Amino acid sequence: MLSDNAFNEPVKITVTGGTVLSGKLNMPEDAKAIIIFAHGSGSSHHSPRNKFIAEAMQQEKFATLLIDLLTPEENEGNAQFRVDDLAQRLLDLRSWVDQNPYTEAMYTGVVATSSAAAAALMAVTQSHESEGSISSLVCRGGRPDEVMSILDKVDIPVLFQVGSKDAEGIASNKRAISHLPDNCELKIIEGASRSFEEEDKLEEFADNAIDWFLKTI
């Protein structure tokens, strides 16, 4: 049974085309907003890094939806490169949040990593046309300039975080931030690589993301 106040349960969510995505919804007591995690190919909602960040957010009373945008079968192919499809799935997840009795009417933020960052930005530009909107976005190690043509349509606060050892990521994020409004920021995390696997760097990412969502949601 799901508690009225707090629970941690696996979910199955059907998206456009009938594909079923697997994930986990964690609802802390008195949650004030929900954060959807959109990770790139090769990762999953079982990832220790994703769980670490989600648990830090749960301690700050954010509900979290850790979800796989790709099925295991799709992850083995080239589906991760279909940015349009991934953006639509993220919009479907946002609609699910609005329709779920435990999360309806909640402000929604997104944490997007790697190849999912471009899809999240595309979803942001389309979210006002769907049932609910995305309020704030944090990207880690993504390549946002892959969707440069739509960045002028982004109208929510976006925080890019990229490691100082990720030269390609820094260049990509700098190109993107120059096309975004003043309420968007780029943080370069000293000593971190693209995956933020160095000691304490993932914790720094999580702290920055929490501060961003507390300020912008």
Q: Considering the domain boundaries, does residue 159 fall inside one?
A: yes
Kindly report, residue by residue over 9-59, the tens digit of the pLDDT.
Answer: 999 999 999 999 999 999 999 998 999 999 866 556 768 889 999 999 999
pLDDT at 24: 94
For the chain, how many structural domains are there in total? 1
Q: Considering the domain boundaries, does residue 172 fall inside one?
A: yes
Q: Considering the domain boundaries, does residue 2 fall inside one?
A: no
Residue 134: Cβ within 10 Å count: 25
Q: What is the mean pLDDT of the chain?
A: 90
**Range of 183's domain?**
7-216
Q: Considering the domain boundaries, does residue 137 fall inside one?
A: yes
Q: 68 near 40, Cβ under 8 Å?
A: no
pLDDT at 201: 96
pLDDT at 179: 95
Q: Considering the domain boundaries, does residue 149 fall inside one?
A: yes
Handedness of CA 212, 106, 69, 28 (dihedral sign): positive
pLDDT at 75: 79
pLDDT at 166: 96
pLDDT at 132: 66
Q: Considering the domain boundaries, does residue 17 fall inside one?
A: yes
Q: Considering the domain boundaries, does residue 1 fall inside one?
A: no
Look at phi and psi of residue 194 and say left if phi exceeds 0, alpha if psi is from -120 to 50, else beta: alpha
What is the helix (H) or strand (E) element at residue 11, kind and residue range? Answer: strand 7-14
The CATH number that applies at residue 40 is 3.40.50.1820
Instruction: Spell out the residues 6+ positions from residue 199 whose beta carbon is closer than 8 angstroms to its own.
Output: none
Counting as low any pLDDT under 50, the low residues of the chain are 1-4
pLDDT at 153: 94
pLDDT at 204: 97
Helix boundaries (H) for 48-144 = 48-59, 72-75, 83-99, 116-126
pLDDT at 47: 81
pLDDT at 3: 43
pLDDT at 122: 95
Q: Report helix angle 116-126 to 83-99, nearest 10.
A: 60
Position 39: which residue type?
H
